[in-house]
Amino acid sequence: MEAAVAKASFLDTVKAVLSGFIGVRRKADHERAPLNPLHIVIAAVVLVALFIASILTVVRLVTS
């Protein structure tokens, strides 16, 4: 019998995107649960926007 494959939660998707930002992700994590591509795109766009906003905030604080 095949084991039931659990769907990844949105938190699992965020963890995968964050690990992708720094370039590390274990193969076991990749094979554990299939990720929804729409969740990956949404999480990546939101996290990139937050990253850019934080960089801009730090630069403005340092240069003021």
Q: Which amino acid is at 51?
A: F
pLDDT digits (tens, 9 = 90+) for 11-36: 888 888 888 888 887 777 666 768 88
> Per-residue pLDDT for 3 more than 60?
no
pLDDT digits (tens, 9 = 90+) for 33-44: 688 889 889 999
CB atoms within 10 A of CB 43: 21
pLDDT band of residue 51 (cuts 50, 70, 90) is very high
Q: Are 8 and 33 in contact (CB under 8 A)?
A: yes
Higher pLDDT, 51 or 12: 51
Q: What is the pTM of this model?
A: 0.72
Q: Is 3 exposed, middle or buried (0-12, 13-18, 19+ CB in 10 A)?
A: exposed
